[in-house]
């Protein structure tokens, strides 16, 4: 039986409320199943995330969704994050990895965008560092395009033979479209390529919560495609879907996500997100995996 769901629409006068800081706390739990001719086992992962963003100018409520105020006002920001990942394998093996990083988004002359991001993660077996730089442009008030270049390196602590470098190029588009009275549709699309060099030993290539085991003695080129859409029936609520596909000579990675976010007040929101990710080998004895994830994130503005 279908039932009509009623939402309380919260419309905030533009001059009555503003913020310059936004923080979030998130928790993700996922289970990955590995299946091949030789083994089948499971991995459980828990992630604890915290982040903080500062906007160089106060942001005010307007006619657009509360979730898109920074985008609609061409805001400049500085962000930092920290995440702890705890992984348990069958057989009681456990690993912990710390992730942290920061990002700068500067908007000049109201249209030109400069992007910079630095990330690193550190575990008992390896350390990973990445630096990204990009340029973007608002070619319309609510539409932007950007191009991003990234360079990253992984150093394994107990071996010098399986270090690798990765070079990435990405193109991205985002647009927010009014489609009715207080209704909006946000569209994200991206394409990226990254080249892993000197990959000479088995190594997990992350697929967004899962991973795939590959053993290549030559450069490995990954191509990734992303399309995402979020529908906002009112200012305070949005529901979205996301599809991401990554391919190379050895495997195909497909990710399907669904999320919902609701603002209980202009300063507090809760987001629930579910993801299914699969890694499918297309040659050789590579490991097939499936990952199911569920996450909850609370965000605060002040």
Specify which residues 194 forms β-bridges with: 168, 222
What pTM was computed for the model? 0.84
For 72, the 3-state DSSP assignment is: helix
What is the C-alpha to C-alpha distance for residues 228 and 245, in angstroms, rounded to an integer?
12
Q: Is 16 left (phi over 0), alpha (psi -120 to 50) or beta?
A: alpha
Q: What is residue 2's predicted lDDT score, i.e. its pLDDT? A: 39
- Are 238 and 67 in contact by the 8 Å Cβ rule? The answer is yes
Q: What is residue 283's predicted lDDT score, i.e. its pLDDT? A: 67
CB within 8 Å of 226: residues ≥ 6 apart: 188, 189, 190, 191, 192, 242, 243, 244
- Are 35 and 289 in contact by the 8 Å Cβ rule? The answer is yes
> Helix H segments across the chain?
69-72
Q: What is residue 1's predicted lDDT score, i.e. its pLDDT? A: 37
Tens digit of each residue's pLDDT, the chain (302 residues) = 333 333 334 445 445 789 999 999 999 999 998 876 666 778 899 999 999 999 999 999 999 999 999 999 999 999 999 999 998 877 666 788 899 999 999 999 999 999 999 999 887 777 889 999 999 999 999 999 999 999 998 877 766 556 778 899 999 999 999 998 889 999 999 999 998 776 554 444 444 444 444 444 456 788 999 999 999 999 999 999 999 999 988 889 999 999 999 999 999 999 999 999 999 887 666 678 899 999 999 999 99
What is the C-alpha to C-alpha distance for residues 251 and 168, in angstroms, rounded to an integer?
18
What is the C-alpha to C-alpha distance for residues 173 and 158, in angstroms, rounded to an integer?
41
Q: What is residue 38's predicted lDDT score, i.e. its pLDDT? A: 65
Measured distance between the N- and C-terminal CA atoms of the chain, rounded to whole angstroms: 41
Q: What residue ranges define each of the domains in the chain, with the CATH number in brackets? A: 18-301 (2.40.160.40)
Specify which residues 300 forms β-bridges with: 23, 268
CB within 8 Å of 185: residues ≥ 6 apart: 176, 177, 179, 229, 230, 231, 232
What torsion do the CA atoms of 144, 241, 247, 207 make, to the nearest 10 degrees? Answer: 100
Rg of the Cα atoms in the chain = 21
């Amino acid at each position: 039986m279908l039932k009509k769901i009623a939402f309380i629409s919260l419309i905030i006068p533009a001059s009555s409320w503003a913020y310059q800081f936004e923080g979030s706390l998130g928790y993700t739990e996922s289970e990955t199943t590995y299946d091949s001719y030789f083994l089948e086992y499971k991995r459980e992962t828990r992630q604890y995330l915290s982040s903080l963003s500062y906007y160089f100018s106060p942001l005010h409520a307007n006619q657009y969704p509360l979730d898109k105020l920074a985008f609609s006002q061409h805001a400049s920001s500085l962000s930092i994050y920290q995440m702890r990942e705890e992984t348990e394998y069958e057989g009681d093996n456990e690993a912990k990895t710390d992730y942290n990083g920061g990002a700068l988004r500067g908007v000049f002359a109201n249209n030109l965008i400069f992007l910079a991001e630095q990330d690193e993660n550190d575990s008992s077996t390896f350390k990973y560092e990445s630096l990204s730089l990009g340029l973007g442009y608002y070619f319309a008030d609510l539409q932007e395009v950007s191009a991003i270049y990234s360079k990253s390196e992984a150093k394994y602590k107990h071996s010098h033979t399986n270090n690798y470098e990765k070079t990435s190029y990405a193109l991205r588009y985002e647009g927010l479209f009014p489609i009715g009275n207080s209704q909006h549709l946000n569209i994200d699309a991206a394409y990226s390529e990254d080249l892993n060099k000197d990959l000479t030993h088995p190594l997990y290539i992350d697929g967004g919560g899962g991973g795939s085991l590959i053993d290549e003695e030559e450069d490995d080129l990954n191509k990734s495609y992303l399309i995402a859409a979020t529908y906002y029936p009112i200012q305070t609520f949005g529901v979205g879907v996301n599809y991401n596909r990554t391919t190379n000579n050895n495997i195909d990675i497909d990710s399907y996500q669904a999320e919902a976010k609701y603002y209980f007040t202009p300063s507090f929101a809760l987001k629930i997100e579910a993801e299914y990710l699969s890694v499918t080998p297309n040659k050789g004895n590579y490991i097939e995996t499936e990952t199911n994830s569920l996450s909850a994130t609370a965000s605060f503005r002040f």
